[in-house]
Chains A and B, each alone.
Chain A
Amino acid sequence: MSIMQLNGGSVVAMVGKDCVGIATDMRLGNQALGISSEFQRVFPLTDRIYYGLPGLATDVATLRERFRYRVNMYTIKEEREIEPETFAHLVSSTLYEHRFGPYFVEPVIAGLSKTPSGGLKPFIAATDLIGCLNFAKDFVVAGTASEKLFGVAEGLWEPDLEPEDLFETISQTLMNAVDRDAYSGWGCTVHILTKDQVITRTLKARMD
């Protein structure tokens, strides 16, 4: 039994055309026993950044508190909102601070970053449990269903998806991946970030 698989749960993020999506399942378990089907592991950070923390549930809560504190301090000191790239590095350094006694989570970050011309550019990133960053141009996956997510996402994702098409792609990717994983599933939440709104939808899933 690995501590990374104790509670179960998976997160996937994808890039679209001027939008990004981040989706997660809602299971909280204790090994094979399901405890809750309403567990949240994707959180909003600013209006333009969402992040997910699949892994050990106690560290999900602890890191959420830590990130909120560190980002609030950043916002006060800098007098501006944090950019997704900066936040990704903040996540990385927070995790690497605990290199030899890590938090058992693999964060996924999705956001829209400002370009010098004033536009918005989709951004996604993921790290491992000690903060090794992975900037991807297409999609990132993490959690107990990550192998399955890689397979389905590789098959379904294509460049320049519009928000509604991205929603369909990311939802199908997640739902089909978690149905093959005993430790993930029990409902899904999908967030699509566009330049003027965030679309959040809850999906019904298999309950077995």
Chain B
Amino acid sequence: MECSFALTGKDYVIVAADTTAARSIVKMKIDEDKIKELSPHLLMAYSGEPGDTVNFAEYIERNIRLHHIRHLVPLSPSASAAWIRRALAQSLRSRNPYSVNLLLGGYDTAEDKPKLFWIDYLGTLSEVPFAAHGYGSYFALSLFDRYHNPEGTVEEGLATLKRCIDQVSKRLVVAPGKYKVKIVDKDGVREVEI
């Protein structure tokens, strides 16, 4: 089943999501990228109802891009989070709501701070030091409580993430096989192998 994790560190946010695209009990694809790069310093991991997820993520991606083009500056992570939350909250009370859960990790270049937001399909928004979605969250959040260091280096952050992934692989019956990991910091977005 789908799992996504994210954590902040001294001056970065790590976002990880599994790479399986499943339908019912069948794996359709094992190298799906479920982390979108919304702007030069903003990442969004999405999970939920297949179909809704990609449709909603692309809608968000294009609108954030449109804002960037119109105003010449990208929307800040907190402003993006507020706008995305609103889109989900309005969708919730519509005829067919999006069933999409998000982790929004970004680097605020104005404040020089990493930011991470936990957003669910209801439009619940919370700024957090670490977050997870899916069945993996029941394992990962406890590990983050124990090992997360808000002042940690990238290496330390990746080691903590590795612990989560390993634990989920070990204990979760429906654990995903592969993960894609992306890091956002002051220099922008980059992908790392784990």
Contacts and interface: CB of A to CB of B under 8 A. Distances in A.
A101 B126 contact: no
Interface in B89-128: 89, 92-93, 118, 120, 122-128
B138 interface: yes
Contact of B123 (A28, A39, A61, A101): A61
Given A61-B85, A61-B89, A62-B89, A28 B141 contact: no
Interface stretch (A29-37, A136-144, A163-171, A172-180): A29-37
A38 interface: yes
Given A33-B137, A34-B141, A61 B125 contact: yes
B93 A28 contact: no
B141 A33 contact: yes
A73 to B, nearest CB: 19
Contact of A35 (B86, B89, B122, B128): B128
Contacts of B126: 28, 35-36, 38-39, 57
Interface residues of A, number: 16
Contacts of B137: 33
B46 to A, nearest CB: 17
A188 interface: no
Majority secondary structure, A binding face: mixed
Contact of B122 (A39, A56, A65): A56
B57 interface: no
A58 interface: yes
A34 B118 CA distance: 12
Contacts of B122: 56-58
A194 interface: no
Contact of A28 (B85, B89, B124, B138): B124
Interface string A33-54: 1111011000000000000000
A26 to B, nearest CB: 11
A127 interface: no
Interface in B144-166: none
A92 interface: no
A184 interface: no
Contacts of A58: 85, 88-89, 92, 122-125
B131 interface: yes
Given A30-B120, A62-B89, A35 B131 contact: yes
A61 B138 CA distance: 25
Interface of A: 7, 28, 30, 33-36, 38-39, 56-58, 61-62, 65, 101
Given A36-B127, A38-B127, 7 more contacts: A33-B137, A35-B126, A38-B126, A57-B122, A58-B85, A58-B124, A101-B93
